[in-house]
Amino acid sequence: MNAVLNSTLSSLPLLARGKVRDNYAVGTDRILMLASDRLSAFDVIMGEPIPGKGELLTQMALFWFAHLEGIIPNHLTGDDPESVVTAAERPQVRGRSMLVKRLKPLPVEAVVRGYLAGSGWAEYQQSQSVCGVALPPGLKNASPLPAPIFTPATKAEMGDHDENISFDRMAQIIGADLAARVRDTAIQLYTRAAGIALKKGIIIADTKFEFGLDGDGTLTLMDEVLTPDSSRFWPVEGYDAAFREGRNPPSYDKQFVRDWLEQARVDGQPWGKRAPAPALPAEVVEKTAAKYREALQRLTS
């Protein structure tokens, strides 16, 4: 399988090259969103692609867009991505692209947590709260929360880290009414998705959604949704033992890469979570690709 680290379309103008996706303008009202095989961790892009990752991400996002219909409009146009590029460029686009509406993105990420993990766990240990949301005492790493909580974050520039913020701060940035709609919609999306995934043996510990506004001001779900790049997926069968022992449960997401990077050394020193990233060993690349494949197979079987 040929990996795509960077796409090279010349028939469309490149709008932006993000951590994973390359976005191309299609006229003034549509965007060709192409998922590369790049992988980012700690907001740093790895130098090694994960073969097939972009196709898996796209298939998973389309699965979730279909299963979340009725809650909120999404950015899909229903048009064939291959129809807007030349014949020679179609292999680059095939299976890893979406043709979407051009929206005005909101400058915040809508994070929903059903379990305590990652930066949420770190913050809880300091304050018994996450993003200003008070939580019960005595929780451990990977503890289930009494109910899903909304913990927004600001969007970082390339190479910088996203910053967790309070709901009040989010309301200051985008307005109180819109912030409340985003919060309520994100929790509704997470709740439905978590229920679907649990029936397939997958716990969605947390996830982030992105929203935009169309020309009429309609709130719209955009970008990726509920993929291993934007979510923490835990197989049910590995959760209980890990939770009892206070360690991170096995995961289908890039936590595998994060854990390796936490132990990585650069010139004898721990990696400082700044570019450039240490080179991923072939074994880490292969295991990460396998985890993405297994997550999609499990969800869609």
Using CA atoms, how far residue 254 sits from 52, 291, 299, in Å, is: 15, 9, 17
Q: So what's the pLDDT on residue 162? A: 74
**Computed over its alpha carbons, how large is the radius of gyration of the chain?**
19
129 beta partners: 134
Q: So what's the pLDDT on residue 147? A: 97
Report all structural domains of the chain as residue ranges with CATH numbers, in order of start.
14-102 (3.30.200.20), 105-245 (3.30.470.20)
What is the CB neighbour count within 10 angstroms for residue 237?
A: 10
Ordered per-residue pLDDT tens for the chain, 301 residues: 579 999 999 999 999 999 999 999 999 999 999 999 999 988 899 999 999 999 999 999 999 999 999 999 999 999 999 999 999 999 999 999 999 999 999 999 999 999 999 899 999 999 999 999 999 999 999 999 999 999 999 986 654 567 899 999 999 999 999 999 999 999 999 999 999 999 999 999 999 999 999 999 999 999 999 998 899 999 999 999 999 988 889 988 777 788 899 999 988 899 999 999 999 999 999 999 999 999 999 999 8
Measured CA to CA, the distance from residue 148 to residue 168 in angstroms comes to 18
**What's the predicted TM-score (pTM) here?**
0.92
266 beta partners: 269
Using CA atoms, how far residue 106 sits from 102, 109, 170, in Å, is: 13, 8, 10
Q: So what's the pLDDT on residue 160? A: 56
Q: So what's the pLDDT on residue 1? A: 58
Length of the chain in terms of residues written = 301
